[in-house]
Structures are given as structure tokens and as C-alpha cells.
Amino acid sequence: MKRLKRKKWKKVLRIFSIFLPLTVFSTNLMASENFSVNDPLLKVLIKKGILTEQEALEIKKEAEKEAKKEKEEIVKTTAEKIQKEGLALPSALKGLKIGTLTYMDYSTGVLPHRPEGSEMKKKGFSYFALTRGYINIIKDVTPWLSFRITPDIRAGNVDTNDLRLKYAYALFKLPDVGFLTDIISEFGLGHFPWLDFEEQINPYRMQGYMAREFVGTFNSADRGVSVAGYFGGKLDPHYVKRLTVNYPLADHYVGKYGSWWISYMNGGGYEMKETNMGKALEGRITIRPFGTQTEGLLPLAGLQLSYFFISGKGGERIKDVTGNTQFFRKSSYPRYDVHLGMLSYQHPWFVITLQYSQSYGNHKGSWVVSTDTLPGGEKVLKTKQWSVFLDVAMPFHNKLHLFARYDWFDPNDNVKRFYDPSTRSWILGKDDTSKHYMIGLAYYLYKSNILMLNFEWMDYEKYYKLGTTNDFRKMGSYDPNGKHNLKGAFRVQTVVQVKF
């Protein structure tokens, strides 16, 4: 037994004695391959005994390390120079940005109609349409001056989507004035003070018009001059970053204690020429009372109180029942005043707004009625509106949002009855409100590129009057000379918004 064990151990030792030299040899061979001195100068210095082979290898490693570092520095310096001086672009393209905001819409449903037995029978619709097609071209001229021009399409279910001009303005960046910071000025065909602000909080303009624009009070751009800015600098950037995870547009209007916008404009909007000597003074003041409170379950920094106003004249002349001619320089243009208040709260996971507004007349000057069949009895309608909006990002998948909106509008709060010359009848100033409902889902494909599914319907009281009943986008647009006694409209809508 002992002899067998000895023989076994001798066999193991023989195998080990064979493999150990081979292992050492292969290791030295690999080392010599990885760390051999190939530089001719170092070889000469080793041969003359000035350097040992180990010293030469260390010098070689140090040289390779320095060469790598120098190469990285050259790449970094070159990249910084290109970024700073724009060496990679022709001078005409420096500071130039081109993008789009496009809505591709499919809608199907039922248009407003009159009760059974009338000449206005129930009429369905189904169409694909482009409802916005901005081509945004912005050029930085200097650090303090830039220019924007934005053609847009004629939207909706139309014969052809002709281009028209939506924006064309110079933007000046101005120095801070104490508590008023980040001041800019637009001159030309520029932003309206209210809607651009509202559309950063309610991000679903792709669905249709905002509440006041939907009923025909005003639109989103006009010719004139504006000055705008923030109160007290900007919000904490970490808080803004949290908001933009689910709401990409939340990095707009980020004044620490609010923002403001004052405009002096024609008043008729970008689709109308100026027809009177008066101009509209328009403005918005937004207060963010808790701008520093950005932490916690319900950060109070998201709470804002906004007031918006317009004081001007409507875009059309008052026409009495005899058709008397008015002249451009006369002051007999209808009153156009708007007062709107909104309470809004932006949270990283939800948004809610509540607004109430009143107006006398509208930008077109068309909300004027005759209280008598004789000349001189014209009166501007006083209107009022409530609107509520809610959007929630789903906690199980934050790219999916659920939203809802409700608008209530009374187009006549001051006239007991008025004469309708088209039907030669008196229209009562009651039973004339409209209700607008919507509920839907929005899926954020990437940043502000969104796929939406929306369900929307209208309810009208007997004397609510529409100028057109053939376009769902205008199913809230009140016209005192339009059709009444209408049954509600309904649509299912799918929209793809592309933005870059």
C-alpha cells in the first residue's frame, strides 16, 4: 500500500517538474511580448549600459501616457473652438435654428343640427386634416437680437393648406431692472400675452383652441410691440427638471416669483387688418407666491395666480339696421374689453387650472346686437365663462396621461332681448349658454411629440347661435347673427403632434 502511494506521488512530481518550467517560460515570453523595448534609441541606450531594460520600459510607458494625454487635450481644445467660433458651419448658418410644430388629425363625429323634421338634419363627418404646420425659422443676429419667422398652414378640412404668416418679429434681450429680470421685447407680428402662457400649462393645443379662443373672443398672435419678463429671477433648476420629466413644456415661464407681459397691438389678431384708430392695450401678470418652496409631496412653487386684460376696440364698424356707413377715423367701433383670472398648479405628476373671465365684445367687433329696430339701439354683448382643466401622468407608466376639460359660456349677460334681422325675430337673452366637454388620453412618444385620443362634445341651450355648423373646430364660436335651436355636436379625435 505504502509503495503504491510513493509511486503515485513520484508520478505527480514528475508531471509538475515538466509543466513548471513551461509555465515560467510562457509567462516570460508573454511579458517580453507585452513589455519589450521596440524604440531604437532606447535599445542603443540599453546596449551601451546607460539604461537597464527595466528603466527603458518605464520610460516607454511614461512617453505613451504623455502622448495619449496630449492627444486628448488637442481633441478637447479643437471641439471647444468649433463650438465657440462655429468653425464647422458657414457664417450664414451660425445661430440658425429650424424646426416645426405640426398637428396631424383624424376626426369623426356629428355636427350641430336641428331637431327632427327641420331643414337642418343630422350630419356626420369623417376626415384626415392638418390643423397646424409651423415652419419655425429663428436666427440669432447678436447675443441681444434675434429674429423669428413662422409660416403656418390654413388649417382644418380645407381644399388646400395654403401658407400664411403666423409670426414675424424681432426679439430683443434687455438688461434686468431690479426685481424685473430676463426682460425681452418683441416687435412685429408677435405673441399675444395670454395664449402662449396658457398653452405651456395646458399642453394640448393640438386638440383644439383654448377656452376663450374657442368661443371667438380673440386669437393667438397680433401686430404690435411687447415687453415681458420674470419677477425675481428663475426657479430652482432642479425643481424645473423634475417638472419637465412628465411635462416637457414646464421649462417655459419659470419666473421665481412669477412673470409678466405687456403688449400694445392692433387688437384684431393676425388674420385681420387694422380698421380703426384705436389700439389694444393687453397684459398679463402672474404671481408665484411660494417660488422658493420646491420640496415636499406638494411643492407650493407650482401654484400661480394670473390676471389677463385687454382694453381696445373691436375690428369691425358698428352697423345699424339701416346700414349707415361708418368711417375709418370715427370712434364708433365696438367696445373690446377682457378680464380673465386663472388659478393654476403644476406638479411633477399632475396639472390643474381653474379660470373665470368676462368680456365686452370680441376682437372682430361682431358681438354687437340691435336692441331696437331703429338706428341707435346697438349694444355690445357682455359675456362670461368658466373653464376647468386637469391632466394626470399615470403612475404605472408616466408617458401615458389622462386629461379632461369643461367650459361653460354665456354669450349674453346684459341684454334681455335683441333683434335678429336675418330671421326678423327677437332673440331672448336667456337660455343661451353652451357647455363644452372633453376627456382623453395622451401618450408622450418623445419629449413634446405626442399621440392623443380625445372624446369631445357640445351642448347648446335654445338661443346659443353659431355662425357656422360645418366645422367642428368652430363649434363654440358664438355669432349673434348665426343659427340657433341646435342639438349638440360630438367627435372622436386622434392627433399626432410632431415638434422639434
The CATH number for 159's domain is: 2.40.160.10
Together in a domain, 332 and 261: yes
Together in a domain, 47 and 145: no
pLDDT at 468 over 90: no
Together in a domain, 62 and 203: no
Residue 492: what pLDDT? 98
pTM of the predicted structure, to 2 decimals: 0.80
With 0-12 / 13-18 / 19 or more C-beta atoms within 10 angstroms meaning exposed / middle / buried, residue 45 is middle
Out of 5-9, 35-39, 281-285, least confident range: 5-9
CA-nearest of 412, 410, 413, 389 to 401 is 389
Together in a domain, 193 and 137: yes
Distance between CA 322 and CA 333 in Å, rounded?
17
pLDDT mean across residues, the chain: 86
pLDDT at 52 over 70: yes
pLDDT at 270 over 70: yes
Out of 70-84, 150-164, 414-428, least confident range: 70-84
Instruction: Return the exposure string of 405-420: e unless at least 16 CB atoms fall within 10 Å of the residue's CB, then b.
Output: bebbbbbbeebeebbb
Sheet holding 417-420, edge to edge: 378-380, 368-370, 417-420, 425-428
Reading the block at residue 332, the C-alpha cell is 364708433
| CB atoms inside a 10 Å sphere around CB 130 | 16
Share of the chain above pLDDT 90, in %: 59
CB 244 within 8 A of CB 196: no
At residue 315 the predicted structure's pLDDT band, cuts being 50, 70 and 90, is confident
Domain boundary among 69, 88, 107: 88
Domain boundary among 88, 106, 128: 88
Range of the domain at 69: 36-88
Residue 422: what pLDDT? 75
The more confident residue out of 79 and 229 is 229
Distance between CA 79 and CA 91 in Å, rounded?
18
Reading the block at residue 435, the C-alpha cell is 357647455
| CB atoms inside a 10 Å sphere around CB 40 | 8
Most confident of 18-22, 143-147, 368-372, 429-433: 143-147
Together in a domain, 79 and 118: no
pLDDT at 500 over 60: yes
Together in a domain, 330 and 375: yes
Together in a domain, 163 and 240: yes
Together in a domain, 381 and 447: yes
Residue 116: what pLDDT? 60
Together in a domain, 56 and 109: no
Residue 497: what pLDDT? 98
CA distances from 483 to 108, 120, 421, 458, 465 (A): 22, 10, 12, 15, 5
Distance between CA 391 and CA 439 in Å, rounded?
10
Distance between CA 330 and CA 250 in Å, rounded?
45
Together in a domain, 70 and 111: no
At residue 54 the predicted structure's pLDDT band, cuts being 50, 70 and 90, is confident
Out of 17-21, 236-240, 442-446, least confident range: 17-21
Together in a domain, 19 and 165: no
Mean pLDDT of 57-84: 82
Distance between CA 282 and CA 338 in Å, rounded?
9
Distance between CA 53 and CA 39 in Å, rounded?
12
Together in a domain, 446 and 377: yes
How many structural domains comprise the chain?
3
pLDDT at 325 over 80: no
Residues ≥6 apart with Cβ < 8 Å to 25: none
Helices 40-47 and 53-85 pack at an angle, to 10 degrees, of 160
